[in-house]
Structure 1
Amino acid sequence: MDEDLATISWRSVEWIQERPEGLNDDNVLDYFAESPFWDAQCNNATLKMQTQYNDLKEFKTFLK
C-alpha cells in the first residue's frame, strides 16, 4: 500500500447500521478489517481467520 495512512480517516456508518447490535466487542475486528488500516498479515488477522467459526468470547483477552 503506497497511500500515506496518516492523512486519511475512515468510518463505515453503513456497516454499523446494517447490524442491529451495532459495533461491539464481538464484531469490532470484522469492522476494522474493512478499513484501509487493516493489515492482513497482522496477528489479529491470523487469529480472526483461525477462530472464525468459534465463539470469539473465549479469545477476547487476546484480541484486545
Structure 2
Amino acid sequence: MLGSCPICDANIKITSVEVSEIISCKDCGSKLEVVSVDNKSSKFNLKEAPKVEEDWGQ
C-alpha cells in the first residue's frame, strides 16, 4: 500500500492498513490518521491525526 504524508509529502509504504488507523511518518514524525483505502490501486489517504488532549475527568 502506498500513501503520502500531508505534512511533508514523503511517500509512505505499508503492507496493510485500515481506515482510522494511526501511523507515523518516518520522515517528519507526524502522527497521521488513515481516512480512506483503495485496495484496487493499493493506495491510501492520510490526514494529520487529532491531538490527544489530557482528560481531567470533567
**TM-score class normalised by the smaller sequence:** under 0.3
The structure whose residues are more often strand, as a share, is 2
TM-score with structure 2 setting the length:
0.27
TM-score with structure 1 setting the length:
0.26
